[in-house]
Amino acid sequence: MHWRSICCVQCPGQNTTSIARVSKMAVVKTEQGLLEGTVCENAEGSYTAFKGIPYAKPPIGNLRFKAPEPPEPWEGIRDASQHGAVCPQYNERLDRLEPGSEDCLYLNIYTRSPHPPKPLPVMIWIHGGGFYTGSGNSDYYGPEFFMAHDVILVTFNYRLEVLGFLSLETEEVPGNAGLKDQVAAMKWVKQNIAAFGGDPNNVTIFGCSAGAASTSLHLVSKMSAGLFNKAICQSGVCLNEWGYTLYGRKRAFQLGKLLGKDTEDPEELLTFLRTVPTSSLVSIQLPFIESGLSDLADGILFGPVIEKPSLTVEKFITGIPPDLVIKGQMANVPVIVGYTSGEGIEISRKLPAISAFLPVPGAVVPRELKLKWRPEILQEADTKIRKFYFDSKDITTEMLQEVTYLETDRMFAYNIRRYARYHYFHNTEPVYLYKFTPETERNYTKKQYKMESVKGVCHADDLPYLFNVTCLDIPLTDASRSIIRQLVTLWTNFATIGNPTIEGSVQWKPFTESERNCCDIGKNLICSQDIDSLNTKFWEEIYGEAQISRANNAET
């Protein structure tokens, strides 16, 4: 069974909310050549869009699976009015394959004016989708809400699933090509964004789900150092066990066997996989790894891996993310982290399929802990968790709310709050914590899952409050417009000055160990201390982190 995040997908059709009308053209000069974008007008105002900009060389032929190479220059004026191809993928939302193209490394830039009075803050969106689906295209990530503010928005595609995350642990295919694509996009922005009116020294990276895990991986990767100045992680951090995989090489050889090449030689496997049609590398189904751990997160077959330190090529990450965070190896930049009130709906919606898995001893214990605990300690924790969430009762398919509560904390919220603690302990720049709670007609995913009976805001249901979704029929009312303005203002304030607080509203104080400030982002803003404190303290005891300090966790 695949445990799949649904953060961003390609969809057909359109609603009529703020569809942009294209008028005159705009030309800018980049390091690779001239680009001609389009001026778009809509109900929110006007902005200039530059789409389908190549930020790396097409990763085709012998470049398949390899780290991206710098883009090549072009002659004349390049048309930047259309998106580039999406990465080949399975669209879970519509249950269909989208062939796309391996030549998919393109980005999009949106600005109110390429020639502002002063350089504008830059916000780079990293799309989610479980590392296997999604793109930066405007049918789902429409820029209109951000274009009401003085910021530049950048979205982009990166390689997904096998194409982006195959790992053979070799010099040629060490893994994480998709994350290195993200780094290449950030480098391109750093080098070129001034031509669009952006400030290359005021860049905020942000994302949701797999995009948030990616964002926080950039916070701990030395490869990304200096390419951004702030970060926002929505519904995920690199501590979440679904944010990285431990079995990349095993998955690669499983894949070879599935496709007809049963070998233990990585070079032979690579030669074979480069001949395989792209369509055979999409929507892969592989058996569970026989690790004895039985983790739902292992359903993400191809994702970020820990690269072998001994390899001589440039590596994205060489240590287990929790180890790096605990030691304080993270960028000292302002950060926002947070979660929705019902993240676990993403898991509980599959309760009939996973009902046989949850009763297994240890199934409710996080993977990070199972890897280092003796069986008796594991069993003790398993018993405590089942008592806390299920009153020690057997888990049944009727326990949608209880499973939602468990998975909201276990798979999402606790490690997000935990990341805030370690950021505070090791860094001097602030970290802001939030919980997203509004429910209106724009909470599309929960309705799509038919989970309206369960309390809480579903995973990814914050996205329509940030982006103008035109590929789905999502209404826009006065009530939701108010929340949209509030959320986008918080985010753009943070991108501009490093503090999200809205002038004239309640102060959103940074998280500290003593105050544990958190902003409840609902129809109104409520900033208080110790939100979800009972659950937080429970998991701190489980993790053995009720008491941590800078001194105890400083890197030696």
Residue 421 token pair? 């603690």
Give the whole-angstrom CA distance, residue 208 versus residue 405.
20
What is the widest separation between alpha-carbon atoms in the chain?
Answer: 69
Query: Do residues 217 and 178 touch, judged by C-beta distance below 8 A?
Result: no
Active site residue 343: yes
Say which of 307, 343, 346, 402 is annotated catalytic. Answer: 343
> Long-range contacts: 278-281, Cβ < 8 Å, 24+?
278/88, 278/99, 278/102, 278/163, 279/88, 279/97, 279/99, 281/88, 281/161, 281/162, 281/163
Q: What totals of helices (H) and strands (E) does the chain contain, helices first?
A: 16, 15
Active site residue 172: no
* Coil/strand/helix, residue 96: strand
Say which of 92, 423, 459, 480 is annotated catalytic. Answer: 459
Give the whole-angstrom CA distance, residue 130 versus residue 91.
11
- How does DSSP classify residue 301? -
Tell me the residue ranges of DSSP E strands in 59-171: 77-79, 89-91, 96-98, 106-111, 120-126, 152-156
Give the whole-angstrom CA distance, residue 544 versus residue 424.
18
Pair type for strands 45-54 and 89-91: unpaired
Q: Where are the alpha helices (H) located in 274-374, listed in sequence order?
A: 321-327, 345-348, 351-354, 367-370
Active site residue 545: no
Query: Do residues 395 and 348 touch, judged by C-beta distance below 8 A?
Result: no
Phi, psi of 22 (to 5 degrees): -85, 135
Say which of 209, 214, 341, 348 is annotated catalytic. Answer: 209
Among all residues, which ones are annotated catalytic?
A: 209, 343, 459
